[in-house]
Structure 1
Amino acid sequence: MYNVLVVELNRHSGSKTRDALDWSVLGFSIENDADSADSALTLLSTKPYSLVLINMVGMPEEGLALCSRIRAESRIPILLIGDGTNFQLARKAMYYQVSDYLPAPLCAEDLSASLQLIKRRLDSADGAVREKQPPEEAASEISVIDKVKEYVSEALSQNITLKEISNILHFNCSYLGQKFKYHEKMTFNEYLLKQRMEKAKALLESTDLKVYEIANEVGYSEMDWFYKKFKSYTGVSANEYRKMMSITA
């Protein structure tokens, strides 16, 4: 059963996405609901999901912004429901490599067909990982964790996901995530954030790079998202941090 996060950005739309069909028959389970981008991102950072469904009817800009923020961190499948008459909106959605875009009003048959296609892709990806996965005794857990950390260090400026690393190392993603948390005492996403923020701090202290250049160096293409993450991590903005370090130097 694949876990789904449903995001209803317009809480006044009267949407009944959850009640549109019997999800379990199609192999999906709605694990959580969110009514804002921030709550959706919080849930995505703390729990594993297989699919994000975003209903952005009446809230197109917020919906696309959420897609952008998700893509900055993950390649998780995204299913969008949007205003049916807006062709330009559908084209913009494709830019974020969404799995499908369904026009409103939502048709249960279209939603079912889309979910079946997404499930086949998920089944195929999971099956490939299981076939490639070697016996646990083939490599020590510590050496595998070291390889994960080495990959993060070398690819920090790129989009990084544990799923991608799992495929490269031929490990099941869920298994690798559990082992990483056991050895590092933090989740993979927490570790990745720490590495990005610590490198950003170092670059702010030791280089004259512009803040947007530093953001790109640590894997953020969206400046607003970088600013938010950096301030949450350090308590101050990137510019304030640089000024503080120049004063104490």
Structure 2
Amino acid sequence: MYKVLLVDFDSTSSMEMLQRMPEWNRIEFELNAYANSSADAIEFLDRNYFSLILIGMNGSHNDALYLCEHIRQKSRVPIVLIGGSNDFQLARKALYYQVSDYLPDPVSSLELTSSLLAVKGELDREVDKNKALTWTPANKDVQSQGQSNIIEKVKDFVEEALHQNITLKEISNTLHFNCSYLGQKFKFQENMTFNEYLLQQRMEKAKMLLENTDLKVYEIASEIGYTEMDWFYKKFKAYTGVSANEYRKMFSITA
């Protein structure tokens, strides 16, 4: 059973929602301690072992981020922020402290359960590798690796399903991540949005198929997930500056 420290600066909404959750034992988490200030939370962390820190923001964004900063100076224990505003700058700061998830209001029990299951998967893998998460100096390389792994999974998903209608929402559901926060993680690491990356991958594969195969243009469009040819033609020309047929002719001339 994984022990959880709940930090709630506004001891109303987060506690009420968490108490209504019937899933704790099933997903192998236990609400082990409660703090309503950064000072109390830090004292708990200095004296006890926790597998997860849940922080209810609820208007106390600065307090929550200060606590994240203090935790990251000493530990890479998973942190989930709940109840904050859906604000890009706030999410970006949360990314900087490498929180496991950021769930802005309104937060549903299903959404929180999915987030906790994702954290549990990470904890299970760490246990299997005998790398228990403790209140010890942070290993920044390991933190960065954990941040990168989820994005690599997104990119792998794109590569495997490029011929399908892919959405970040579907991928986030598969990976048990909040869609908005996963989008911010992706942009933070890749310096482009998920949709920009998806378009790049589709167009680069289309170019490769035009250069190296005799597939018809409509067959190539289908290979990269386009069912409407007009839309494919428009996107390809916007990306390369020429039509698909012109691109193939250019390559044939230079080959």
Two-structure CA RMSD over aligned residues (Å): 2.5
Match of residue 73 from structure 2: 72
* Aligned residue identity for 1:120: G
What is the alpha-carbon distance in structure 1 between the residues aligned to residue 44 and residue 118 of structure 2?
25
AA aligned to 2:4 is V
SS in 2 for 1:58: coil
Matched residue type, 2:103: L
- Pick closer, same or farther for the CA change 1:14–1:109 going to 2, 3 Å: closer
| Equivalent runs, 1:1-249 vs 2, <5 Å | 1-11=1-11, 13=13, 15-16=15-16, 17-129=18-130, 159=138
Q: Aligned residues: percent identity?
A: 39
Which whole-Å CA distance do the structure 1 matches of 2:84 and 2:105 have between them? 5
Q: Does the aligned pair in 1 maintain the 2:14–2:56 contact within 8 Å?
A: no
Which stretch of structure 1 is more off in the superposition, 97-106 or 82-91? 82-91
Letter matched to residue 77 of structure 1 = P
Residue 19 and residue 49 in structure 1: after superposition, are their counterparts in 2 closer, same or farther (change >3 A)? same
Deviation string for 1:134-183 (max 9, x for gaps)? xxxxxxxxxxxxxxxxxx9xxxxx7469x99xxxxxxxxxxxxxxxxxxx
- After superposition, the Cα gap between the structure-2 partners of 1:14 and 1:122, relative to the gap in structure 1 and judged at 3 Å, is closer
State the TM-score, normalizing by the size of structure 2: 0.49
Task: Supply the distance in 2 between the matched residues of 1:84 and 1:24 (Cα, whole angstroms).
Answer: 29
Q: With structure 1 as the length reference, what TM-score do the two structures score? A: 0.51
Name the SS for the 1:25 alignment partner.
coil
Residue 146 of structure 1: aligned partner: none
Structure showing greater radius of gyration is: 2
Q: d(CA) in 1 for partners of 2:22 and 2:56?
A: 15
Q: In the alignment, is the contact (CA less than 8 A) between 1:52 and 1:78 conserved in 2? A: yes
- One-letter amino acid of the counterpart of residue 2, structure 1: Y
Q: What is the count of residue pairs matched by the alignment?
A: 137
SS in 2 for 1:7: strand
- Deviation string, structure 1 residues 60-100 (Cα, Å, up to 9, x no partner): 01110110011111110000013233222111101100000
- Distance across 1 between alignment mates of 2:84 and 2:139: 31
Does the 8 A contact of 1:6 with 1:52 survive in 2? Answer: yes
Query: Hey, what's the Cα distance between the residues in 2 that align with 1:82 and 1:91?
Result: 16
| Preserved contact between residue 7 and residue 33 of structure 1 (Cα < 8 Å) | yes
Q: Is the 8 A contact 1:3 1:31 kept in 2?
A: yes
SS of the aligned residue for 1:129 comes to coil
| 2:198 equivalent in structure 1 | none
1:137 match: none
> CA offsets, 1:86-131, max 9 Å, x none?
222111101100000011122111101111110011000101118x
Question: Matched residues in 2 for 1:21 and 1:66: separation?
Answer: 28
Any unmatched runs of 5+ in structure 1?
131-151, 153-157, 165-249
3-state SS of 1:26 partner: coil
Partners of 1:50 and 1:159 lie apart in 2 by: 15
